[in-house]
């Protein structure tokens, strides 16, 4: 008689799971919950990443031969040199230049440490993503946010929603659900973001789960090139169709009066849902055109651009309290890591993020068309990285978030590297 053993999930932890690398990757995003303010926000993870850098160096486990690391650090060094020149040329205050330089130095530590800890392992990269998901949930002020609908919507939109999806995906995978089934379930759940006012999270989750569910592993490099072009065409067409469908649904009142009024104000001049009413982007492009080479300096301040920004906001139907809003704002608006780097430090900052964007786009293709296709959680990381480059400011926590997304992107590319695949075949 044949006995069939059914595999059940286990909560036991193997000794290999408790390696130094795994523990640090999990704790780094979690430690971002704690911070202090000293001439800017200093995170507990900043201390941990610096300690890990020297610990890895002492153990002789620090390498700069990891794929992409040298190029990334070289471009970051170029950005840092431009920041120094920019601040000297613009006469930036000591406080602002110290914050700007510290941001880039710490970013370099995160890049070096996390890429060394991950070393192309998708499993270790996923562990960092789980830590990030738990961190985003734990940052929620339950007593305040859950008792206030508006506060909860804001909390969900700016992190908690992503954290819940990451933890849910991890739990479903742990309990043995098939990858395509997980993708389908998350695709079906993605509209919940719309009801909570998080349109960008809906778009990213819908695309991530859709790509993961309908992925097509392609072995031939030439075929992958042609299919990549078709993939991006379909992706663009899908986003365009999604905007049209969303426009029709939101106008029916399904998502409530607040969502309807916001949508109408942002698309009043025929602008798209994605790019409509992004006054910060328009102002930042003007600021970049004024000083394209070295920018306006770290934490660039100029009230002329603030005045233009508030005028554009008012034209887009947003309420502006001129007495308080103009008095409280002095930084040149730039709600984008790409545009923000160019505003502050000119072309070198933009070149850095364009290179990171090229890695993310390669990972997107690798995850959708490669032999080792991506899970929904990996696609979430790649698409969040792309989105943040265009539409998110480079705040304190971004120096850890974005490197985790970057590490997952690089791991996806490495997993689908033809040379590596051939080497693995030769070892079989």
pLDDT digits (tens, 9 = 90+) for 374-415: 899 999 999 999 999 999 999 889 999 999 999 999 999 999
Instruction: Output the pLDDT for position 196.
Output: 84
Residue 168 has pLDDT above 50, yes or no: yes
Instruction: Output the pLDDT for position 380.
Output: 95
Cα(373)–Cα(364) distance, integer angstroms: 10
Instruction: Output the pLDDT for position 145.
Output: 57
CA-wise closest residue to 183 among 405, 375, 370: 375
* Alpha helices (H) in 31-160, listed in sequence order: 44-58, 69-90, 94-118, 122-138, 142-145, 149-155
Residue 154 has pLDDT above 90, yes or no: no
pLDDT higher for 4 or 180? Answer: 180
What does pLDDT average to over the chain? Answer: 83
Output the CA angle 402-408-410, nearest 5 degrees: 100
pLDDT higher for 187 or 269? Answer: 187
Instruction: Output the pLDDT for position 426.
Output: 41
Q: Could you read off the pLDDT of 321-368 as tens digits, one per residue?
A: 776 666 677 889 888 999 999 999 999 999 999 999 999 999 999 988
Q: How confident is the model at residue 259 (pLDDT cuts 50, 70, 90)?
A: low
Instruction: Output the pLDDT for position 372.
Output: 84
Enclosing H/E stretch for 120 = none
Strand partners, 41: 37
Percent of the chain with pLDDT over 90: 51
Distance from the first to the final alpha carbon of the chain: 33
Contact assessment for residue 360 and residue 385, using Cβ atoms and an 8 Å cutoff: yes
Residue 184 has pLDDT above 50, yes or no: yes
55 Cβ contact partners less than 8 Å away, ≥ 6 residues apart: 20
Q: Could you read off the pLDDT of 27-86 as tens digits, one per residue?
A: 999 999 988 887 678 899 999 999 999 999 999 999 999 999 999 999 999 999 999 999
CA-wise closest residue to 297 among 101, 64, 36: 101
Place of tokens 């409509």: 276
> According to the per-residue pLDDT averaged within each range, which of 215-224, 268-277, 307-316, 405-414 is highest?
405-414
pLDDT higher for 426 or 199? Answer: 199
Q: How confident is the model at residue 295 (pLDDT cuts 50, 70, 90)?
A: very high
Cα Rg of the chain (Å, integer): 22
- Cα-to-chain-centroid distance, residue 250: 26
Cα(190)–Cα(184) distance, integer angstroms: 10
Residue 428 has pLDDT above 70, yes or no: no
Percent of the chain with pLDDT over 70: 78
pTM value is 0.87
Q: How confident is the model at residue 116 (pLDDT cuts 50, 70, 90)?
A: very high
Strand partners, 301: 331
């Amino acid at each position: 008689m044949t006995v069939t053993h059914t595999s059940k999930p286990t909560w036991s932890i193997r000794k290999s799971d408790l390696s130094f690398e795994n523990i640090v990757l999990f704790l780094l995003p979690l430690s971002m919950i704690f911070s202090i303010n000293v001439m800017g926000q200093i995170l507990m993870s900043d201390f941990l990443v610096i300690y890990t850098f020297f610990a890895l160096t002492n153990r002789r486990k620090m390498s700069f031969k990891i794929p992409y690391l040298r190029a990334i650090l070289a471009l970051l060094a170029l950005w840092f040199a431009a920041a120094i020149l920019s601040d000297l040329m613009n006469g930036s205050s000591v406080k602002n230049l110290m914050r700007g330089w510290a941001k880039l130095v710490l970013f370099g530590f995160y890049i070096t440490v996390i890429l060394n800890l991950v070393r192309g392992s998708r499993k270790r990269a996923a562990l960092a993503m789980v830590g990030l998901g738990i961190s985003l949930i734990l940052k929620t002020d339950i007593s305040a946010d859950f008792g206030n609908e508006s506060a909860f919507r804001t909390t969900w939109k700016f992190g908690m929603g992503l954290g819940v999806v990451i933890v849910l995906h991890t739990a479903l995978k742990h309990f043995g659900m098939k990858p395509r089934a997980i993708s389908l379930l998350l695709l079906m759940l993605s509209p919940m973001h719309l009801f909570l006012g998080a349109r960008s999270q809906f778009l990213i989750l819908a695309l991530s789960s859709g790509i993961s569910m309908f992925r097509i592993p392609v072995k031939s490099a030439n075929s992958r090139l042609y299919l990549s072009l078709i993939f991006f065409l379909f992706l663009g067409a899908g986003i365009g169709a999604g905007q049209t469908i969303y426009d029709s649904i939101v106008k029916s009142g399904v998502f409530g009066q607040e969502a309807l009024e916001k949508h109408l104000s942002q698309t009043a001049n025929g602008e798209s849902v994605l790019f409509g009413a992004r006054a910060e982007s328009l102002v930042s492009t003007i600021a970049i055109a004024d000083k394209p080479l070295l920018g306006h300096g770290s934490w660039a301040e100029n009230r002329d651009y603030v005045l233009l920004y508030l005028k554009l906001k008012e034209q887009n139907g947003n309420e502006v309290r001129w007495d308080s809003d103009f008095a409280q704002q002095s930084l040149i608006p730039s709600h984008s890591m790409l545009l923000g780097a160019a505003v502050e430090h000119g072309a070198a900052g933009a070149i850095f993020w364009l290179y990171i964007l090229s890695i993310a786009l390669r990972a997107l293709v690798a995850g959708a068309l490669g032999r080792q296709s991506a899970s929904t959680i990996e696609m979430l990381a790649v698409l969040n990285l792309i989105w943040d480059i265009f539409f998110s400011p480079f705040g304190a926590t971004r120096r850890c978030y974005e490197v985790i997304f970057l590490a997952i992107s690089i791991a996806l590319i490495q997993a689908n590297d033809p040379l590596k695949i051939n080497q693995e075949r030769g070892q079989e």
